[in-house]
Amino acid sequence: MSETRHNWTKEEILDIYNKPLMELLYDAATIHRKYHDPNTVQVSTLLSIKTGGCPEDCGYCPQAARYHTDIEGNDLMSVQQVKAQALRAKSSGSSRVCMGAAWRNVKDGPEFDQVLEMVRTINKLDMEVCCTLGMITENQAKRLAEAGLYAYNHNLDTSEDYYKDVISTRAFEDRLETIDNVRKTNVTVCSGGIIGMGEKVEDRAGMLVALASLSPQPESVPVNALVAVEGTPMEDIEPVAIWEMIRMVATTRIVMPKTQVRLSAGRTEMSREGQAMCFFAGANSIFAGDKLLTTPNPDVNEDMEMFKMLGLNPQKAFVKAPQPETIEATASKIEPLGEKPKWTRPGHKIERNENAKANSKLVEKE
């Protein structure tokens, strides 16, 4: 029951997801103990290095320029700002920094060069560096690897079927292509999704089929609960029940036994008891800091109190894979190719996305 399999079917995953809860928890916790230290949880810090103004139409995201939300946009942060925040994160127990930029895809040029310098700087602080920058080419993935990137995040978000009801500006296959480009380097893959977006349980299973069938499976899978933000197309969706989160974490743990399962957005809605059950079910990472990109997150001191209460220890950096080497920009052997790949734009109409866009125009006129 515990070796890594890449041929899970949706039906098998649904059978696991729908098991009586105590049985599901027992199975997931048994597998978790085989591959991971059950008393260790990684604390990661998510930094929004470029916020807002994104051209995509992801129905859950307050950073999409087309929706009217309260978030404050900012241009790309400086390397010094990022270094200061990384040092602060390290001193409060984080072993990983994930930098997010609200871009559709990476473009070669001064901004990407600045991100590469951020990667070098954080890797030299002996922290795991992860980036989430949108779609990337193989050449860009290689340049990130050369700078010392430890992980690249590119979420599948949901099942291929439901994806079409969430995003119309990019295609599910392009997500897979970016993951494939990352896999041509030694950078590890972080890819997961969001539950509570109005999808069916079958879609959650479908997403897990897609992730588990990647070979190798992603080293890291974030499981997010939707945080419904006013002004986004999903603003009226009720928060997902904690039981669903626990089931999703446990099922993820069973189908991807060696993966780091990350309890991500939506923790402010969860009690400590609920989070403890997620850790028991196999979650072994949280994001720290009072903001998760743009949505609220528990304060780091509250998390440390919870760790103390549960007897959990923060995971050290590079426990799961060795620290990458950093090659300085001056010694780089990989030239930017200045490619302009034609990432797909399906362009179909999603009613709730169209409505949110129309409402945003009305608000701006007022």
CB-nearer residue toward ligand SF4: 123 or 353: 353
131 in catalytic set: no
Residue 157 gets which letter from DSSP? B
Please tell me which residue in 120, 170, 190, 204 is annotated as part of the active site: 190
Contacts with ligand SF4, residue ranges (CB under 6 A) = 54, 56, 58, 61, 63-64, 102, 134
Pick the closer one to ligand SF4 by CB: 100 or 324.
100
User: Has 278 been annotated as catalytic?
Assistant: no
Provide, rounded to whole angstroms, the least separation between the CB of residue 341 and ligand SF4.
16
* Closer residue to ligand SF4, CB minimum distance, 202 or 235: 235
Q: Given 3-state DSSP classes, what are the helix, strand and coil percentages for the chain, each rounded to the nearest 5?
A: 40, 15, 45
- Which of 293, 266, 247 is closest to 130 using CA atoms? 293
- Is 131 marked within a binding site? no
* From 120, 262, 267, 278, active-site residue: 262
Write down the catalytic residue from 61, 96, 204, 278: 61
Q: Which is nearer to ligand SF4, 51 or 260 (CB)?
A: 51
Question: Does 54 qualify as catalytic in the annotation?
Answer: yes
Query: Cβ 307 to ligand SF4, closest distance in Å?
Result: 29
CA 289 from centre of chain = 15
Residues 6+ apart with CB under 8 A from 135: 104, 105, 106, 154, 170, 174, 175, 177, 178, 341, 343
Q: Closest distance between ligand SF4 and the C-beta of residue 208, in Å?
A: 20
Write down the least CB distance from residue 133 to ligand SF4, Å.
9
Task: Answer yes or no: is 104 a known binding residue.
Answer: no
Q: Is 54 annotated as contributing to ligand binding?
A: yes
Closest CA to 282 of 255, 303, 261: 261
- Would you say 262 is a known binding-site residue? yes
61 assigned ligand-binding residue: yes
Write out the two tokens for 347. 């362009």
Tokens of 95: 């072993």
Q: Scanning the structure block, which residue is given the tokens 């950096």?
A: 317
Between the two ends of the chain, the Cα-to-Cα distance in Å is 59
Give the Cα separation of 240 and 253 in Å (integer). 19
Question: Residues 170, 56: contact at Cβ < 8 Å?
Answer: yes
Structure tokens belonging to residue 273: 């008891």
Annotated binding residues for [4Fe-4S] cluster, as ranges?
54, 58, 61
**Residues classed as catalytic:** 54, 58, 61, 98, 130, 190, 262
Annotated binding residues for [2Fe-2S] cluster, as ranges?
98, 130, 190, 262
